[in-house]
Amino acid sequence: MTAFTLLIFQVCFSQSSFVYKRNSLGQLEVYQSQGGLPTGTPIYKIKKNVYGYLEVESVDVSTDPFTRKPDYAAYNNFKPYQLPAKEIFETLETLNKRYEFDNVTSGNAKQNSKSGEHYIDKYFENRFDLAETQLNFYNSNISFPTKLNNGWYDVVKIFDDALAKMVNPTKSKNFIYGICKVENNRIIEYYENCHYYDVKTAKIFKKINIDVSSSISNCKSTYRAVGENQYFSLYFLDNILDETKQIGDPNFGFYTIYTSSNFNLGDGIFLYFGVNKTLNRQEIQSKTPPSAYSSGISLLNPVENNCKSSFSTFAFRKTGDKFSIAAAMLNQGQSYSSIWLINDFSVIPDECKSTILNK
């Protein structure tokens, strides 16, 4: 009798529950439990294979939990007391998904922490693949938390992007990391990460003013921004595996860039941000990206809007850092005709500072 057959036999014809115990080699062994303690000999071992995934010893387990899931058809008719067998395999799948998700996102951050044209090109080559991977991760799950508690969360916006198809006809998705505040299972505030490489630990965010949004269902919410016609979806990927996972209050301070009445609709304005870095005109004119992010803005942002909810309101984490902003307007020759510098300012939680750009 194989280890796998023995497992099924013992599980299906026993009313025992099961516990995990790590042996001297670091492998998890599964025992039947008695009073919550392991009893007898291990039913089987769970070990980490050469790819980093957990698998059942002597059983052929897929190394791609996104596209192949264990076949639970044989367990669909289990009686309630036989449920632990399915729970064990679902636990394995969940642990493998966590490994895959953490491996993908941490690898993306490590790669993108490098600088230089070669790494930037490579980053954009992989970006659309990562969007598809994260969406596959979401779609591969069979259960989700019913609701999320009030608080702050990491989210990712995954959306259709024509640029992806231009780069690769087989791709269609792009993504942006962000954070949001949840109350009563709805998103009430949403901020998109402004870091050039979308690293989750970034300190500068663009405030997105939400017009309408759905309640959070299956770790997903759909929203439409003020003044927009398109709807987007935000995914709480971290919370699929840990429904209690939150981030700390970012204690945002705000800065808004306004445009004066002598700007025209369609004027191309690029914003550059720096963290503990003084920006200078030469660097901006040469279009050498500073350490943070450059963001193109083409719409006007009139002064009469509320400071913390204007079109170009940016949120800065309360970190003790100094921040800088450079605004640059393109002319027809693709050089900057005007540059405005706002250097070395600090933020105070919930306070909103502003600057009016004047030609």
Domain with 192 in it: what CATH number? 2.30.29
Judge if 14 and 100 occupy the same domain: yes
Judged by DSSP in three states, 207 sits in strand
The pTM of this model reads 0.72
Mean pLDDT for the stretch of residues 278-285: 87
Query: In this predicted model, which residue has the larger pLDDT, 201 or 150?
Result: 150
How many Å apart are CA 43 and CA 57, to the nearest integer? Answer: 11
Residue 122 lies in a domain: no
Task: Provide the pLDDT confidence category of residue 340 given band limits of 50, 70 and 90.
Answer: very high
Tokens of 220: 């997903």
User: Are 77 and 151 contained in the same domain?
Assistant: no
- With respect to residue 131, please indicate whether it lies within any of the assigned structural domains: no
Q: Residues 16-62: pLDDT tens digits?
A: 577 777 777 766 777 777 877 888 777 767 777 666 666 666 333 34
CA angle 325-193-97, nearest 5°? 155
Residue 189 CA neighbour count, 13 Å, CB half = 19
Within a domain: 114 = no
Q: Report d(CA 259, CA 226) in Å as an integer.
A: 19
Return the SS3 of 34. strand
Return the pLDDT at 288.
67
Strand-pair category, 269-275 with 323-330: antiparallel
pLDDT of residue 186: 96
Mean pLDDT in residue range 194-204: 77
Is-contact 4 30, C-beta < 8 A?
A: no
One domain for residues 82 and 18: yes
Max alpha carbon distance in the chain (Å)?
Answer: 83
With contact defined as beta carbons under 8 Å apart, do 19 and 38 qualify?
yes
- Same-domain pairing of 284 and 209: no
**Do both 46 and 73 map to the same domain?**
yes
Which tokens hold the place of 82? 């036989």
> Is the confidence at residue 6, as pLDDT, over 50?
no
Domain-located, residue 330: yes
Lateral strand order in the sheet of 173-183: 210-213, 220-225, 231-235, 151-160, 173-183, 186-193, 204-208, 313-316, 253-259, 352-357
Q: Which two tokens stand for residue 275?
A: 């963290």
Instruction: Decide which of 241, 267, 283 is a domain's last residue.
Output: 241
Name the pairing type of β-strands 151-160 and 54-56: unpaired
Neighbours of 2 (CB within 10 A): 10
Question: What confidence tier does 218 reach under pLDDT thresholds 50, 70, 90?
Answer: very high
Helix extents (H) in the chain: 3-12, 84-112, 117-139, 162-167, 237-241, 281-285
Q: Of 43-47, 106-110, 209-213, 306-310, where does the model show the most confidence?
A: 209-213
Which residues constitute the domain of residue 276? 253-357
Query: Domain check: are 198 and 279 in the same one?
Result: no
- Asked which of 38-47, 249-258, 275-284 is least confident by mean pLDDT, the reply is 38-47
Q: Domain for residue 194, yes or no? A: yes
Q: Which of 53, 87, 104 is the last residue of a domain?
A: 104
Beta bridge partners of 148: none
Whether residue 18 is found in the same domain as residue 97:
yes
201-215, 267-281, 287-301: which has the minimum mean pLDDT? Answer: 287-301
Question: DSSP strand E in 136-236: where?
Answer: 151-160, 173-183, 186-193, 204-208, 210-213, 220-225, 231-235
The reply to whether 272 and 299 lie within a common domain is yes
Is residue 53 one of the residues assigned to a domain?
A: yes
CA distance 191 to 255: 13
Q: 161 and 88 in one domain? A: no
Greater confidence, 81 or 212?
Answer: 212
Last residue of a domain, one of 52, 85, 104: 104
Q: What percent of the chain has pLDDT over 90?
A: 30
Total number of domains constituting the chain: 3
**Contact in structure between 253 and 316 (CB atoms under 8 Å):** yes
Question: Could you tell me if 148 and 237 lie in one domain?
Answer: yes
Q: What is the pLDDT of residue 148?
A: 95
Looking at the fold, whether 214 and 309 belong to one and the same domain comes out as no
Is residue 150 in some structural domain?
yes
Residue 111 within a domain: no
Q: Same structural domain for residues 259 and 221?
A: no
